[in-house]
């Protein structure tokens, strides 16, 4: 199967997680980090999910899943330890044209969740189309080793200079030239070496020179 890669804006989206175990916990935390509004349907919860429920960060329906639990959800994750229940939930979602990810059996999913490397706003997703999660994990670990925390710092600084350049440089071509020059420079290497001040100076130099160039 050929999947269509996409990143979803989950802010304020209503999402349903079916199940209250460790997998459901992990999926729930990821959804919350993306800004989703999460409801869990499960007779029991992990201690962490209980904390989230008691603090009001998630809504908990203490019951087994039924089709009537589906209303206007944007996305559903079926994460119980029962393949039969997960499959039933997936069928209900598909009837209602709701995106669903099924932990077991994964073939019932309408989308899969890739292995992910996060460095601040940098998000690198790896997928083998469900053929080899082990290979996806291996590649993710290699990427984690290559893309360190310096990329988090770099994007934080780039976000600040981007706003300033967009406000101060009217010419689009010059703006692109500035951004490209910063990316192609040694700023990331300087950040990796902990030379933050030098990195800031280099960004300022590039922005100034490219602004007045020509």
C-alpha 153, offset from chain centre: 18
Question: Cα-atom radius of gyration of the chain, to the nearest Å?
Answer: 22
Do 136 and 158 belong together in one domain?
A: no
Give the neighbor-by-neighbor strand order of the sheet with 59-61: 59-61, 37-41, 14-18, 75-78, 99-102
Instruction: Report the CATH number that the domain containing residue 68 is assigned in CATH.
Output: 3.40.50.720
- Point out the residues of the chain with pLDDT beneath 50: 214
Per-residue pLDDT tens digits for 155-170: 999 999 999 999 999 9
For residues 166-184, one letter each, b for 16 or more C-beta atoms within 10 angstroms of the residue's C-beta and e for the rest, the string is eeebeeeebbebbbebbee
Claim to verify: residue 174 and residue 138 sit in the same structural domain = no
Of the three residues 147, 162, 193, the one that is the final residue of a domain is 147
The pLDDT assigned to 214 comes to 46
Q: Are residues 41 and 124 in the same domain?
A: no
Tokens at residue 210, please?
């490219």
Residue in 57, 54, 81, 80 with CA at minimum distance from that of residue 69: 80
In this structure, the answer to whether residues 22 and 54 fall within a common structural domain is yes
Predicted structure pTM score: 0.85
Do 73 and 104 belong together in one domain? yes
**Domain total in the chain:** 3
Handedness of CA 82, 86, 89, 91 (dihedral sign): negative
Shared domain for 186 and 87, answered yes or no, is: no
6-15, pLDDT tens digit by residue? Answer: 999 999 999 9
- Residue range(s) defining the domain that contains residue 123: 114-147
Q: Same domain, yes or no, for 7 and 60?
A: yes
């Amino acid at each position: 199967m050929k999947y269509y890669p996409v990143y979803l804006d989950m802010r304020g989206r209503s999402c349903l997680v079916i199940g209250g175990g460790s997998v459901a916990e992990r999926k729930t935390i990821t959804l919350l980090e993306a800004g989703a509004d999460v409801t869990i349907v499960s007779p029991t919860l992990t201690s962490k999910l209980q904390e989230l429920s008691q603090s009001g960060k998630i809504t908990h329906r203490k019951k087994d899943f039924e089709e009537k639990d589906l209303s206007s959800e944007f996305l559903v994750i079926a994460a119980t330890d029962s393949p039969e229940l997960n499959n039933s939930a997936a069928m209900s979602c598909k009837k209602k044209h709701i995106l669903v990810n099924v932990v077991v059996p994964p073939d019932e999913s309408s989308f899969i969740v890739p292995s992910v490397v996060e460095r601040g706003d940098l998000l690198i997703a790896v997928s083998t189309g469900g053929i080899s999660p082990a290979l996806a994990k291996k590649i993710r670990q290699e990427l984690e080793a290559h893309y360190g925390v310096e990329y988090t710092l770099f994007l934080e600084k780039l976000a600040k200079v981007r706003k300033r350049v967009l406000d101060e440089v009217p010419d689009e071509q010059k703006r692109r030239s500035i951004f490209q020059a910063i990316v192609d420079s040694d700023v990331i290497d300087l950040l990796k070496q902990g030379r933050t001040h030098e990195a800031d100076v280099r960004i300022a130099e590039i922005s100034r020179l490219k602004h007045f160039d020509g």
